Amino acid sequence: RNTKRIAKEFEKGVGKRLHRELVALDEKNTHTSYISDPWFNMYLSAREPVVLNFNPFISLTPDPREAYNNQLVRATNLIISSIKFLKSLKHNYLRPDIYYGDPKWSKSRLFKNFIRLLPTSVSWYGAYMVNAYPLDMSQYSRLFSSSRIPKLNKDELFTSECSRHLLVMRNGHFYVFDVLDSVDNILHPSEIVAHLIYIIQEADRLPEFALSYLTTEDRNIWATVRKQLLEAGNEENLKKIDSAIFCLCLDNIFPKDEDELSHCLLHGNGFNRWFDKSISLIITGDGRAGINFEHSWGDGVAVLRFVNEVYRNSTRHPALLPHSRSTETTVTTCERLEFKLNDSIQSAIHVAHEKFDERKKKMSMKRFQFRKFGKDYIVKQRMSPDAIFQLACQITFYRQFGKVVPSYEACSTAAFKHGRTETIRPTSMLTKQCSQAIVEERGKHSVAELRNMIDECSKYHRRLQMEAALGYGFDRHLFALKHLALSRGEPTPDFFLDTAYQKINHNVISTSTLQSPAVNLGGFGPVVSDGFGIGYHVSDTWVGCNATSYLDEELQEFLRCLEYSLNDIFDILEGRPL
């Protein structure tokens, strides 16, 4: 009742005024979205370390031809495919991101030729006429040659417009070499692999003080130490790191299973990463590949497009064959970056190292797969695959803890200019009722009644997805109202101080999904200390996820209950009583 009173007062009073001012601000700034600046500000003002808290990872599917999964071969092919993508983006050859309302027509050659003939100023309207909607691609400008720069209280994003060099890390050492010549030609594959061989041979031991541990630190501490690095005469080297096209991490690690690979890609050993780079391409000793990306500049949509294109090109049109030999010429263009480290900086590195090791020990991560059904089966049941997995998570938590909790699913709003994400709220009265029926009231409902409950949850979840994608979600709107009040020096409205608002933003179950044949798995850390981070994948024939938590026993029990819940759903859809 108290929350209801506060909400009504907010709606009629300060909330109404803030909304009016937000609308006016949005109409004034037609070049961007009302959420863009507040969202950047939220990320860049966060003082927690980016690793484990913000940076997600994506693991690439292995190359279908085993011989191409050699570390040097795969690294070279992925480098060249990445630079091809960069050149396509740079010269405006990259096919635009489009949502196709009628894929059969919109993806046809006839449609493409029709759009190509239209002037740029009206091509959008031509696409709209045939139910094809171009999506925002503004985030792509920070995919390459970008870094997050630590500053006191609020970080900055830096992007170089003319970078030609790649940053390569091996055993905690930094190397740079140009992968593009003066006229934008890509270095020959044999020359690239020669550089990589040289780096692997030269960086055969760890440095006494691995500078990259500093990127795992609290942002204000890292900002202070970076200032010391600049004052000690390391400005040019830091510029080369910040402006590099991307960071290639050649790991001397051979993961024994998927869980070990996930740990490697999410946080690794700390010394062979520069977590501030917009994207880092990681290649393990056995040729497994993945991406770790800094999250403030963009979201999964841009990174997934990059991963899809690069995977497709590197596997279908590899530039380097397994039996190829590198050139015998001496590598003279590869520079090893040497840093001047005084006692204070060395001490800071040592402390950062210890803190990072302590944090990563607390993080548990487990891979989960359920193979009784996948997307194809769920679609045949006329239900949403995404809704079924989200419902399974709700049933699982209720089974394990006997209650429902705030849950989060990310949804892209790239349909809008400078759109970022909106929240889908999978927890609802419908999922609660369904969870109670399956967990507490087994045997009290017929199979038809349970199936109907699942169907209603699926329909409602679809509606939430559509609302979020089309800008009708409530989370970002409320976030922007709060940001507007605080940015003007006003006191925080009571609505945002209420326990209900604080509770709904303590997302115990945080989920995200990226569906693609190029993606083997993905994941991220939990967003709260008592929660679960769930990167999930609904494949054609199976359902799976990568789950993280700081509560190891609870995580193992969660995944055990998740299998139980998916089995229950399967039995109900098959018409079998529980």
574, pLDDT greater than 90: yes
Q: What is the Cα–Cα distance from 452 to 436, expressed in whole angstroms?
A: 14
In Å, how far are 1, 421, 497, 531 from 500, measured between CA atoms? Answer: 11, 22, 8, 18
Closest among 43, 346, 353, 363 to 217, alpha carbons compared: 353
Q: What is the average pLDDT across 450-469?
A: 97
pLDDT, residue 98, reads 87
Least confident range of 103-107, 124-128, 159-163, 266-270:
103-107
Pair 164, 145: CB distance under 8 Å: no
In Å, how far are 82, 186, 248 from 87, measured between CA atoms? Answer: 9, 10, 18
Tens of pLDDT, residue by residue over 98-115, are: 888 777 766 677 777 777
Exactly one of 173, 295, 353, 445 is catalytic; name it: 295
Angle at 523 between CA 278 and CA 454, to 5 degrees: 135
Q: What is the average pLDDT across 329-341?
A: 87
Tens of pLDDT, residue by residue over 345-374, are: 999 999 999 999 999 999 999 999 999 999
Pair 415, 135: CB distance under 8 Å: yes
* Coil vs helix vs strand at 33: coil
pLDDT band at residue 211 using 50, 70 and 90 as cut-offs: very high
Size of the chain, expressed as the number of residues it contains: 578
pLDDT, residue 330, reads 66
Q: What is the Cα–Cα distance from 245 to 469, expressed in whole angstroms?
A: 31
Pair 249, 283: CB distance under 8 Å: yes
559, pLDDT greater than 80: yes
Pair 509, 407: CB distance under 8 Å: yes
* Coil vs helix vs strand at 178: strand
pLDDT, residue 515, reads 87
Domains of the chain are: 42-91+142-362 (3.30.559.70), 98-134 (1.20.1280.180), 364-574 (3.30.559.10)
31 tagged catalytic: no
Q: What is the average pLDDT across 486-500?
A: 96
**CA distance between the termini of the chain:** 38
